[in-house]
A and B are shown apart, each in its own frame.
Chain A
Amino acid sequence: MSKLATLAEAVASIPSGAHVALSGFAITRCNMAFAREVIRQGIRRLTVSQCVGAMDADLLVGAGAVERMIYGGGSLDRFGRLNNVNRAIESGTLIAEEYSSLSVAFRYLAGALGLPFIPIRSLRGSDILARLQRIAPENVSMVRDPFTGEEWLALRPLVPDVAVVQVQMADEEGNAWIFGPRWDNEEQVKASQRVIVITEQLVPTEIIRRDPERTVIPGFKVSHVVHLPFSAHPTSVYRVYDYDAEHIREYAAATKTPEGFQAYLEKYVFGVRDHWEYLELIGGMKHLTPLLADPILGY
Chain B
Amino acid sequence: MYAEDYTPFELMAVAGARELKDGEIAAVGIGLPVVASFLAKRTHAPHLTILFELGVVDPEPIHTGVGLADPRVWYRAKVMSSFVDMLGMVLHRGLVDVGFLGGLETDAYGNLNTTLLGDPHGQFTHFVGSGGANDIASSAKRTVIIIRHEARKLKEAVSFVTSPGYLRGGNEREAAGLRGGPVRVITDKAIFGFDPQTRRMRLESIHPHTTLEDVLANMGFRPLIPDPVPVTEPPTVEQIRLIREEIDPEGIYVR
A residues near B (Cβ < 8 Å) are 25-28, 51-54, 71-75, 77-79, 81, 85-86, 89-90, 98-103, 105-106, 109, 120-128, 131, 150-153, 180-187, 235-236, 238, 242-243, 245, 293, 297-299
Contacts and interface: CB of A to CB of B under 8 A. Distances in A.
B49 interface: no
A183 B160 CA distance: 26
Interface in B93-121: 114-115, 120
Most buried by A among B82, B133, B167: B82
A128 B134 contact: yes
A100 B131 contact: yes
A288 B162 CA distance: 39
B92 interface: yes
B78 to A, nearest CB: 12
Contact of B163 (A86, A103, A126, A182): A126
Contacts of A124: 138, 164, 176-178
Most buried by A among B65, B115, B172: B115
B188 interface: no
Contact of B54 (A25, A90, A98, A186): A25
Contacts of B126: 85-86, 89-90
Given A102-B92, A124-B178, A183-B55, A77 B135 contact: no
Nearest to A101: B132
Interface in B111-163: 114-115, 120, 123-135, 138-139, 160-163
Given A122-B135, A125-B161, A125-B172, A101 B83 contact: yes
Given A86-B127, A125-B173, A26 B71 contact: no
Contacts of B133: 73, 100
Interface residues of B, number: 56
Given A77-B30, A78-B66, A126-B163, A103 B135 contact: yes
A184 B130 CA distance: 15
Contacts, number: 191
B112 to A, nearest CB: 10
B179 interface: yes
Nearest to B61: A297
Nearest to A104: B83
A111 to B, nearest CB: 12
B31 to A, nearest CB: 9
Given A28-B69, A28-B70, A103-B134, 4 more contacts: A100-B134, A100-B138, A109-B88, A181-B80
A117 B74 CA distance: 33
A63 to B, nearest CB: 19
Nearest to A293: B71
Nearest to B160: A127
A182 B83 CA distance: 8
Contacts of B72: 297, 299
B138 A122 contact: yes
Contact of B71 (A28, A105, A185): A28
B68 to A, nearest CB: 7
B138 A26 contact: no
B134 A123 contact: yes
B91 A102 contact: yes
A144 B132 CA distance: 25
Contacts of A126: 134, 161-164
Contacts of A125: 161, 164, 167, 172-173, 176-178
B55 A182 contact: yes
Contacts of B177: 121, 124-125, 150-153
Contacts of A150: 177
Most buried by B among A54, A77, A103, A125: A125
A151 B176 CA distance: 9
Contacts of A77: 30, 65-70
B56 A181 contact: yes
A75 B70 CA distance: 13
A51 B125 contact: no
